[in-house]
Amino acid sequence: MNMSRIKMKRYGMSIVEVLISVAILTMIFIAGASLYVQSGDTTVLVKDRSNAQFEAQEALERMVDEVRNCDAITAATANSFTLTRNLQTTTFLYSSQNKSILRNNVAYAKGISALSIQYFNNSGSGSMAAPTQVVRLDITITATTNGTSRVIKSSVNIRRKST
């Protein structure tokens, strides 16, 4: 009788129990690894978007500063303009090939998907006879990264140094 009870006691784990515990641990490890990889991808995506938005914002601020302190706008289109300041000419142009804003044909901001400029004269009208009548610009820059667009806008009045 005592012998049969001793034989019934088990010591250690069976192979089935070991396999089940290994399978559970494997699933936990795979779930953790996929979360880690996904968080890394998200970090890269957020960093790219943040960089594009920062570059667009910085370019807009520099453009606004130059426009605000220019003497006159001498040429104007929907995605480019030329200004003069202290007898120096500066041209801003959107290049769809390079996805960048060019300042005097040098990359000013990269990763830009669109640049739109509206011009206003003294009466507030968007249609003017000549670019030299421009007193205000509305500048819109669109930066697109990984399918997400960020639009930033600014309106700037020209403080004419000469008339």
Confidence (pLDDT) at 135: 87
pLDDT at 2: 56
16-68 residue pLDDT tens: 989 999 999 999 999 999 999 999 888 888 888 888 888 889 889 999 999 99
Listed residue (20, 27, 23, 117) closest to 76, CA to CA: 117
Residue 67 CA to residue 23 CA, distance in Å, equals: 66
Mean pLDDT of the 6-18 span: 74
121-158 tens-digit pLDDT? 887 766 665 787 888 889 999 988 777 788 999 999 98
Residue 139 CA to residue 156 CA, distance in Å, equals 8
Q: Where are the alpha helices (DSSP H) in 69-86?
A: none
Examine the pLDDT at 160 and tell me if it is beyond 90. Answer: no
Give the residue extent of every domain in the chain.
52-157
- List beta partners, residue 100: 95, 110
In the prediction, which pLDDT does 139 show? 92
Instruction: Report CA-CA distances (Å) from 43 to 37, 39, 48, 49, 52.
Output: 10, 6, 9, 10, 14
* Structure-token pair, residue 163: 């008339």
| 161 or 112, greater pLDDT | 112
The arrangement of strands across the sheet holding 136-145 comes to 112-120, 136-145, 148-157
pTM: 0.69
Of 53, 155, 151, 153, nearest to 111 (Cα)? 53
